[in-house]
Amino acid sequence: MIKLSDLRSRPRISWNWFVIGLSMVMAPGRFKNWWLRRTGANIHHTAWISPDVLLDPVFPELLIIEENVFIGWGASIFTHMIDKKGGEFVTIKGEVWLQKGCFIGGKSTVKPALKVGRDSKVGSHSLVTRDVLPGTIVVGIPAKEIPNGEYRE
Ligand SMILES: CC(C)(COP(=O)(O)OP(=O)(O)OC[C@H]1O[C@@H](n2cnc3c(N)ncnc32)[C@H](O)[C@@H]1OP(=O)(O)O)[C@@H](O)C(=O)NCCC(=O)NCCS
């Protein structure tokens, strides 16, 4: 069985979980972003993080949320994931970079080690499994691009 301490020290995870858990019932704003930065997450003060948004409590420092990013109600952003391969537990982890002005729809999930490009949109209830190009709109499970992006670089 996997042990919590195989991932990270128990006090560190507990602290992160406390901060992030409390943030889930806070209104969006500068104070909330400051509070979340206590975990080491890199969050711009202008980002909008709705209630019930779950940020990864194990490796929050791998999270970059730039200015004017919007994260809708109930979305989850993961910088690590536990998987089981050939009977063994493996941990996948990597930086998640939400670039300027991107919009993450409510109840969406963003997997580890990817970039959501500038001014892109992720539809509600989507599962983001790969990089989202700047200015595009992606929807669904897994999230795929649909036409009508506002611009494309
Ligand atoms: C993704 C989104 C931005 C697209 O809006 P739009 O550009 O006006 O696109 P449309 O509504 O015309 O939909 C275009 C196509 O994508 C599909 N689609 C739209 N949103 C979808 C979603 N979330 N998941 C799956 N498919 C979706 C539509 O069914 C339509 O498919 P069709 O062409 O086969 O009929 C919007 O639907 C959305 O999900 N916004 C997020 C809202 C949100 O979560 N706000 C935060 C709340 S706190």
Helix (H, G, I), strand (E, B) or coil at 30: helix
Q: Are 84 and 60 in contact (CB under 8 A)?
A: no
**Residue 149: CB atoms within 10 Å:** 17
- Ligand 1 near 44 CB (within 6 A): no
Instruction: Note down the domain range covering 98.
Output: 4-149
- Ligand 1 near 106 CB (within 6 A): yes
Is 119's pLDDT higher than 70? yes
- Ligand 1 near 52 CB (within 6 A): no
- Give the CATH number of the domain where residue 112 resides: 2.160.10.10
Is 149's pLDDT higher than 70? no
0.85 surpassed by pTM = yes
- Ligand 1 near 74 CB (within 6 A): no
Spell out the residues 6+ positions from residue 27 whose beta carbon is closer than 8 angstroms to its own.
51
Question: Nearest to residue 104, comparing CAs of 63, 132, 146?
Answer: 132
Is 153's pLDDT higher than 60? no
Which atom of ligand 1 approaches the CA of 122 most closely?
Answer: 1
pLDDT tens digit sequence for 42-58: 999 999 999 999 999 99
Domain count for the chain: 1
pLDDT tens digit sequence for 67-102: 999 999 999 999 999 999 998 888 999 999 999 999
Amino acid 150: pLDDT:
56
Euclidean distance between CA atoms 97 and 65, whole angstroms:
6
Average pLDDT, the chain: 94
Q: Which residue has the higher pLDDT, 152 or 139?
A: 139
Lowest average pLDDT, out of 33-37, 97-101, 149-153, goes to: 149-153
